[in-house]
Amino acid sequence: MDSSSDKLYYSISEVCSLTGLKPHVLRYWETAFPMLKPSKNQSGNRVYKQEDIMLIKMISNLLYQERYTIDGARQKIEEMNNHDQQMELELEAATVSAKMIDCIKKEISDIIAILDRDPMAVDKQDDKA
């Protein structure tokens, strides 16, 4: 089975095949990592989404390759999530809406139109007022 498949949901046995982990390890990680919450189907069996599998692979990497403790891995993932949320907020704040850009374009066009006018024509308009 290929992890890049277009399936929406994976059973615990499929996830075990993809990650090389045993089912009891996945079930334990659900208690140790609050962010890992697979859904359950109508039969009550766990069903994992692609993002769950990515999280499982990240946890596995932190625990087995980088040698974090469970608490350390949980903190690292929480820090990464907080950093991602902070970056999203900064990006959102830095993004200028299309409406704002249209408003700025109109103001610039108005300024250019004023600057392109004959100064005498502007004075004549001022005299009428």
Q: Where do the DSSP E strands lie in the chain?
A: 39-40, 46-47
Longest Cα pair distance anywhere in the chain, in angstroms? 88
Q: Which positions ≥6 away from 56 have C-beta within 8 Å?
A: 15, 19, 21, 26, 29, 36, 48
Local confidence pLDDT in tens for the 129 residues of the chain: 444 567 899 999 999 999 999 999 999 999 999 999 999 999 999 999 999 999 999 999 999 999 999 999 999 999 998 888 888 877 777 776 777 788 889 999 998 888 887 766 655 555 555
Measured distance CA(119)–CA(96) in Å, rounded: 35
Task: Report pLDDT for 5.
Answer: 63
Tokens of 126: 């001022």
Task: Report pLDDT for 1.
Answer: 46
Task: Report pLDDT for 3.
Answer: 46
**Residue 43 half-sphere exposure toward CB, CA atoms < 13 A:** 4
By three-state DSSP, how is residue 54 classified? helix
Residue 117: DSSP 8-state: S
- Chain-centroid distance of CA 45 in Å reads 28
* Total residue count of the chain as it appears in this document: 129
Measured distance CA(43)–CA(13) in Å, rounded: 15
First to last CA, the chain: 80
